[in-house]
A and B are shown apart, each in its own frame.
Chain A
Amino acid sequence: MRRRMFLATLAASMTPRLTWAEVGRPALLAAGKEGDTYTLHGLTATGESVFRVALPGRGHAAAAHPTRAEAVAFARRPGTFALVIDCATGAVAHRLSPPEGLQFNGHGAFSHDGSRLMTSEVVAETSEGRIGLWDTARYTRLGDWPSQGLGPHDIKLLPDGRLAVANGGIRTDPVDRTKLNLPDMRPNLTILSEDGSPLDQMELSGLFQNSIRHLALAGSAIAFAMQWEGDPAEAVPQLGLWTPGQSPILCTARPEDALALKGYAGSVAATGGRVIVTSPKGGAATIFGLEGAPLATLYRADLCGAAALGTSFVVTDGLGAIWSASESGLTPLASGPAQWDNHLIAL
């Protein structure tokens, strides 16, 4: 019995794992909904689908392995499981569950060599943040680090292996997700070393009700997108840029566009000296320069997914369209039956 199990495990680990090139060389990954079916697509830079695999339920595409054709999708909250999808076959290669008492909180990031997966997690009872560590050979749990805040959401690996963590600052009820601490929430953006030690942390004084949730790398800076939990009539920035060691720059929209995002940023992407932040609730996206100046506001219902490809932006919406976005507007690339989910992942 023991020997047979050993052989089975050995066989599994020796099954050749396909690379992205072998599944059509997609440039982007996106989850979607087609009728009652949830799917994960590999897309080319022009929005053509090169593979399409079924997902067992609605999940956000969150991370792609750097070399192997494997994607991680997180179940929507409360995050009791994550799926490693074999993008060649559509099979669920691994089903990850956090240890007892922890919940996944929406995002993950692979190490540059692909040997390790990091996942944002919370202690269910307290929303205290953890970064879970997984060995990607067989997706076994290695351990976890404190995220240095409450409710961590997006995490992004920096080029040198440090990890940026968006600690959203919100304590939620473990079952019904009610937000419990809005009057005194304190989000932060934390930098962890490769072994999980806290290196730097940024808080926005005076804007504590602006939950830092999504991240993108913008040159040497980290672009952070926020969701406003204060008075919805108050126009506050939804985007900031932070270079560790320096003061953050807040990206303030023109007064006439300041409410266009309705206080809610869904995704953020950066390239070519510009950052785009999308808002499905506002049906809009705003592009800023790296000094924080607003360059353009674009309108399209349910816009959310955003990724940088080369020096241009690709954005997706819940109506099924894929667009190229720039200061001069939105240009349609493709459209179809898949309603695109929150995030678009560049490979």
Chain B
Amino acid sequence: MRGILIALALATPAAADTASVVQTHIRPGYAAFAEAARQLAAIDSCDPVALRPAFQAAYDAWMHVAHLALGPAEEDGRALAVHFWPDPKGSGWKAQRALLAADPATLTPDAMASQSVAARGLPALERLLFPAEELPADPCSLTHATADDLARIASDLNAAWAGYGDLLLTAGQPGNTRFLTPDEATQALFTQLVTGLEVVADRRIGRPLGTFDKPRPDLAEARASGRSQANVVQSLQALRALTLALNPDSPRTLAAFDRALGLAEALDDPRFDRAADPQGWLKLEILQQAVRATRDAALAELGPALGVTLGFNAQDGD
């Protein structure tokens, strides 16, 4: 019994600052993304050259919230509708080809909203603005419809974070059935940090890395728009910011972030093309190890400081 009481006492948040995360990280981040997506959709031109800077700005803004995959982001697959990647079967492009062949008049907002998540969002726009081959039809209408749809989802996400942020802020209060204790809110945010680092290591770096014998630079994220390396850098920056908001007193974790960020910024390999040669591959693998070391540091330092761990069952395959 004594053991249980001590464990409960330790479970009280020591330095958790859910309020700081919601108010300085999540809400401003989603507001900035909504604004960037709105500006992209507001451009009248169909010229890819005119649209690309706003596309890049919207993508940058998304990278600063993409790791916050809870609540409004997971419900109705909103985050997937913004950023469906990876798409190993190419289902997004298949669906887009059909849309390109269709009558532009059918590309209404409702029709776009009912499209598969694979055919929408930033990767879909990227395929239209940075086509790998000549497009089978004039993409103008589909480009605008996709950008408008993205702006709508971004606006919905931003609006939904008002209510969901309140749920995080009132964790443990009567009537809050989403977060039954303050610790649950802290754990949810801590999980986003750890999962976010896993996504960087396993997907953003791991997919182009492949194996030493079979590197796959062709699988790099946002390769067409030249963002593969930038996405790694920006997600690490965003996750570092989340760490600071959760607990600024995390020296080991922040040092691990700085090492990984230094390696990521020094790569000078925007599309991870150099994964194809042995030296480039090793550099990318060293970066992957540094990101995994950052995850381990967060688990060892930040988790105990916040009084939370990862899921009891999520960590235990059965």
Contact = CB atoms under 8 A, between A and B. Distances in A.
A41 to B, nearest CB: 14
Given A254-B77, A299-B75, A330-B177, 4 more contacts: A213-B318, A301-B191, A319-B180, A319-B187
Interface in A218-275: 227, 231-234, 254-257, 259-260, 264, 266
A35 interface: yes
A337 B4 CA distance: 8
B4 A318 contact: no
Interface string A105-131: 010000000000000000000000000
A26 interface: no
27 contacts: A33-B312, A35-B3, A35-B4, A35-B6, A37-B4, A232-B202, A233-B86, A233-B87, A234-B88, A255-B116, A266-B318, A280-B311, A280-B312, A283-B311, A299-B74, A301-B184, A301-B188, A301-B191, A301-B314, A302-B313, A302-B314, A318-B312, A335-B180, A335-B181, A337-B8, A342-B313, A343-B318
Contacts of B180: 319-321, 332, 335
Interface in B176-193: 177, 180-181, 184, 187-188, 191
A234 B77 contact: no
Nearest to B11: A337
Interface string A323-347: 0000000111001010111110000
Interface of B: 3-8, 70-71, 74-78, 80-81, 86-89, 116-118, 177, 180-181, 184, 187-188, 191, 202-203, 311-314, 316-318
A332 B8 CA distance: 21
B87 A280 contact: no
Contacts of B311: 280-281, 283, 301-302, 318-319
Contact of B88 (A233, A319, A341): A233
Nearest to B310: A302
B7 A301 contact: no
Q: Counting chain A CB atoms within 10 Å of each CB, which of B5, B177, B314 scores highest?
A: B314
Contacts of B313: 266, 280, 302-304, 317-318, 340-342
A186 interface: no
Nearest to B77: A256
Contacts, number: 104
Given A301-B184, A302-B311, A35 B8 contact: yes
Contacts of B5: 35
Nearest to A320: B180
Contacts of A284: 74
A195 interface: no
Contact of B77 (A33, A106, A257, A339): A257
A339 B312 contact: yes
A135 interface: no
A175 B184 CA distance: 35
A200 interface: no
B7 A35 contact: yes
B74 A60 contact: no
A260 B74 contact: yes
A330 B177 CA distance: 9
Closest 4 CB pairs of A and B: A256-B77, A318-B312, A35-B7, A302-B311
Given A266-B313, A339-B312, A331 B88 contact: no
Contacts of B4: 34-35, 37, 337
A233 B203 CA distance: 9
B74 A341 contact: no
Contacts of A33: 312
Nearest to A36: B3
Contacts of B88: 231, 233-234
A331 B178 CA distance: 10
A302 B315 CA distance: 9
Contacts of B78: 256
A40 to B, nearest CB: 15
B7 A34 contact: yes
A332 B87 CA distance: 36
A340 to B, nearest CB: 8
Contacts of B76: 256
Nearest to B311: A302
Contacts of A256: 76-78, 80-81, 117
Contacts of B318: 60, 106, 213, 266, 342-343
Contact of A255 (B77, B314, B317): B77
B277 to A, nearest CB: 25
Contacts of B177: 330-332
Contacts of B80: 255-256, 259
A263 B177 CA distance: 27
Given A35-B6, A37-B4, A256-B77, A234 B89 contact: yes
A213 B177 CA distance: 31
Nearest to B188: A301
Contact of A280 (B6, B7, B71, B314): B314
A256 B79 CA distance: 9
Interface in A3-42: 33-37
A73 to B, nearest CB: 13
A213 B76 CA distance: 28
Contacts of B77: 254-257, 260
Contacts of A227: 317
A304 B3 CA distance: 25
A17 to B, nearest CB: 28
B182 to A, nearest CB: 12
Contacts of A303: 313
B116 A319 contact: no
